[in-house]
Structure 1
């Protein structure tokens, strides 16, 4: 009878140990998931930064195009003035 009680106690201790190990594994899994989520957020931030750089580049190109068009318009106006003066 005593032996049976000791075996049950040992079994209970083993179950508790398994439960503890399971809890540790779950904590580890949660930490890994948090790390993955953090990595995803960092990648999204990097992507956002790259998109912002691309947008700035496009804005600069638009500004350059506007300036070139203004120069062309200025040139045409000067040519028109010259033409009027030469008459």
Structure 2
């Protein structure tokens, strides 16, 4: 198993790393990644961000919005939750 403790707090980088591992590393071994994001909303592949997110609130509060390659609903991340 490949273990990655990712110290980046940038959600765009972290989601890109997750996608890279999924597309490039899983062919060799299982991958386990730990990371924490700055305040962010991670949206699913097919979600309409205009319908799901309060744009003025995220701009006023400096919340990142990042789309992931998998489906599912929007989730909120911040420095108090550990992602894997």
Q: Same fold (TM over 0.5)?
A: no
Q: Which has the higher helix share?
A: 1
Q: Which has the higher strand share?
A: 2
Larger radius of gyration: 1
